[in-house]
Amino acid sequence: MLSRHQDPIAAIATAPGRGAVGIVRVSSAQDLTPLVNVICGRALKAREASYLPFKAANGDAIDQGLALLFPAPHSYTGEHVLELQAHGGPVVLQLLLARCMEAGAEIRLRLAEPGEFTQRAFLNGKLDLAQAEAVSDLIDASTEAAARSASRALAGALSSEVGELRDALIKLRMLVEATLDFPEEEIDFLQQADALGQLERLHARLAAVLDRTQQGALLREGIKVVLAGQPNVGKSSLLNALAGAELAIVTPIPGTTRDKVSQTIQIEGVPLHISDTAGLRETEDEVERIGVARSWDAIADADVVLFLHDLSRIGQPDYEAEDKLITERLTGVDPSRILQVFNKADVLHGQDLAPDALTLSAKTGAGLAELRQRLLQQVGWHATPEGLFIARERHVQALKRTREHLQLAKEVATQQPPALDLLAEELRLSHDALGEITGAFTADDLLGEIFSRFCIGK
């Protein structure tokens, strides 16, 4: 993908389907004046919209609309960019794109690949990698909070935080490298340069950025919640209550739910992807058995497992035995991911439960507000969306690697005498991990993976 980044490219930049307006976008490092003259019939003023007919090869008008020319480097991609705004019918836009390809044959104009316009903006220094990813996140945002946070990331909030960490790290690296290069100066590096103090402050600042980044990742990725338990404990009723809609069929017949039913809701701007699953039990029904197997797969992949219990059946030997079997099988799941929930509080009250047990009634809605807050607490959500920047899991992992290398650097620095060459290496590795976020140190294959997930035309 990167080997072709000098080619002129074109694509429809608006979403598929019909609409009032559709846009065809062309980007090229070469001058687009010949292409403009052929399609628009005249020259265009820079960054000024011109209403005119878009001409077919025989001189007829394909459509009439607005044409805008953005000369390099003052454009989204940093190259010469032409945008043709026509009526948003699929046929019209395809005809206009085909005409651009025909007229641009001499400059070897080709169709853009997914995300290639934004990739060029990154390669040409218009955006760093975190900002480029924020473009996609803003488009894909599923909540208002996520959209606002993506906008802040696009404006450079995350990049600014990372940049401040990078500057502090560079300063520390320079001091270490200077000591290595001039040992005859006998500089007491650790004391005079306050290396340990700088490391401590850098570590504390990194911890604060990592916390905000993890919160931002929750806004983007959301939380995968699975409702699990025996048949007829109220899983489908709870899904319907949380979603505020009749999504799952609810009957007194055990085994009604045989496959996963999912819905996304939001709590304080955080998306929750909630899945109702088949009741966990041994069964001779082949279809239900497949559903139960899928339930266990969903449990293994969940961020939070709501293990639902039926208050009205507590104390019944058969029910207690089945619950015990489920509990034993859940021993392979991280206990911090399991939330014990006791349903049907409207039917039976006063059961002898643990002090922190969460009781509710999916039927009446009692206890749902507390459940929503417990779900957020379970994944460590403690921020308000305002002021957060959206982030991705790779950002979190890069910051964690930075933290690990800084911790190793601190351990080396406290040794007597300190191994300054090892200290310099750990600081270099920290710097490299930090640079992955904004793209200062990023492999080409990672760039291809990131931008391939964008939509065509962006």
Q: What integer pLDDT is reported at residue 247 of this predicted model?
A: 54
Q: What integer pLDDT is reported at residue 58 of this predicted model?
A: 92
Distance CA 315, CA 430 (A): 56
Residue-wise pLDDT tens digits, 121-155:
999 999 999 999 999 889 888 888 888 888 999 99
Q: What integer pLDDT is reported at residue 2 of this predicted model?
A: 42
Residue 93 reports pLDDT greater than 90: yes
Inter-residue contact 375 to 271 (CB < 8 Å): no
Distance CA 96, CA 262 (A): 40
Q: What integer pLDDT is reported at residue 219 of this predicted model?
A: 85
Q: What are the binding residues for Mg(2+)?
A: 236, 257
DSSP symbol at 185 = G
Q: What is the dihedral of CA 34, 40, 45, 47, to 10 degrees?
A: -100
DSSP symbol at 456 = T
pTM of the full structure = 0.77
CATH of domain 222-378: 3.40.50.300
348 confidence band (pLDDT: 50, 70, 90): low
Q: What integer pLDDT is reported at residue 352 of this predicted model?
A: 61
CATH of domain 140-218+389-452: 1.20.120.430
Q: What are the binding residues for GTP?
A: 232-237, 251-257, 276-279, 343-346
Burial of 239 (0-12, 13-18, 19+ CB in 10 A): buried
Residue-wise pLDDT tens digits, 425-434:
999 999 999 9
Query: Bigger pLDDT: 384 or 163?
Result: 163
Q: What are the binding residues?
A: 25, 83, 126, 232-237, 251-257, 276-279, 343-346, 458
Query: Bigger pLDDT: 90 or 420?
Result: 90
DSSP symbol at 204 = H
Strand pairing class (9-12; 338-343): unpaired
Residue-wise pLDDT tens digits, 318-332:
888 888 888 888 888
Q: What are the binding residues for K(+)?
A: 232, 251, 253, 256
Residue-wise pLDDT tens digits, 433-454:
999 998 876 666 667 777 877 7
CATH of domain 2-127: 3.30.1360.120
To which residue do tokens 């306050």 refer? Answer: 194
Secondary structure (3-state) at 310: strand
Average pLDDT, the chain: 85
Q: Where are the alpha helices (DSSP H) in 302-419?
A: 317-329, 368-378, 393-413
Residue-wise pLDDT tens digits, 3-21:
577 899 999 999 888 889 9
Q: What are the binding residues for (6S)-5-formyl-5,6,7,8-tetrahydrofolate?
A: 25, 83, 126, 458
- List the domain boundaries for the chain: 2-127, 140-218+389-452, 222-378
